Amino acid sequence: MRVLIITGTGTEIGKTVVTAAIASLAVAAGRRVAVLKPAQAGLVPGELCDVDEVARLAGPVTRSELARYPEPLAPATGARRSGLPPVCPRRAAEEAARLAEGHDLVLVEGAGGLLVRYDREGRTIADVPVALRDLGVDVSVLMVTTAGLGTLNTTALTAEALRTRGLPLDGLVIGSWPAAPDLAACCNLTDLPAVANAPLLGALPERCAKHDRKAFLPIARAYLAPELGGTWSHRAFLAQHPEPSRI
C-alpha cells in the first residue's frame, strides 16, 4: 500500500493532469488506483471536477471527494463563505488510509499550494501526510511546479516547508512544459532540482489534457520518469532543451 500526496507551488499549475498521468500509468500496469480530492472549489456548470477529469484521462480509478465549495477560493475561505463544514486534514488522512486498504496506489491531490488553509485552525494539506504517518501508512509527497521565471523561489519555499515538517519529497514534476521554452525554462531544468534538493521526474507538455484517454497514456509514459511509471529521462530532456548561449 502506498499513498502519494500531490501538492504544488500554487493553483492552476497542472496538479490534476500530473495526477492523471501517474494514475494512467498505474492503471495500465494493472494496479488498483484510488484518487482523493479532499476539497474541490469553484466549478462552473458542466465542468468536470478534478477526480472526474483524472478518471476521464486515466481510466477506471476509485474516486473520492470530501467537500465541494461553490466559489473558487481556498478551502477554509470557501467553507466560511458558503456555511459548509470545512475539511479537516485528519479526515482526509483517514479516508486515504481507508482507500489504501483496497488499492495499490492512492493519489491525494491538494488544492492550490502546500500551505493553503483547509480549516479555521490553519491546517493544510501538509498535515495529511503527518496524520497518515501517525496511522502507520506509507506516504510520500510529489511537488508540481511551473517551468518559467519565478518558479525557483516558490519551489524552494515549498520544499523548505516540507523539510521543516520532516516530510519526504519524492521529486518534482513540471505541470506544463511550454511548446517554445524561453531562457528561464531551459535554465530551470537544471536549477529546479538544485533548489528543491529533489529529482526532476517529468515535464508534461502544455495542453496535454485536451487529449482523450487513448492518446493521453503514451504522453504520460513519455513525459514521466521511471519512478512514476514512465520512460522520461531528465538527462535526455536537458539535451533536447539546452540553455542558449550567453549574450
Contact in structure between 83 and 62 (CB atoms under 8 Å): no
Cα 243 to Cα 247: distance, rounded to the nearest angstrom: 12
Please name the residue that has the C-alpha cell 502506498: 2
* Amino acid code (one letter) for 111: A
The yes-or-no answer on residue 37 being catalytic is: yes
The arrangement of strands across the sheet holding 139-145 comes to 62-69, 33-41, 105-109, 3-8, 139-145, 169-177, 200-205
Q: What is the dihedral of CA 81, 87, 88, 92, to 10 degrees?
A: -160
Burial class, 168, CB count within 10 angstroms (exposed 0-12 / middle 13-18 / buried 19+): middle
Phi and psi for 85 in degrees, rounded to 5? -65, 140
- For residue 118, the number of C-alpha atoms closer than 13 Å in the C-beta half-sphere is 24
Radius of gyration, alpha carbons of the chain: 17
Burial class, 77, CB count within 10 angstroms (exposed 0-12 / middle 13-18 / buried 19+): middle
Cα 103 to Cα 48: distance, rounded to the nearest angstrom: 24
* Amino acid code (one letter) for 78: G
Residues tagged active-site = 37
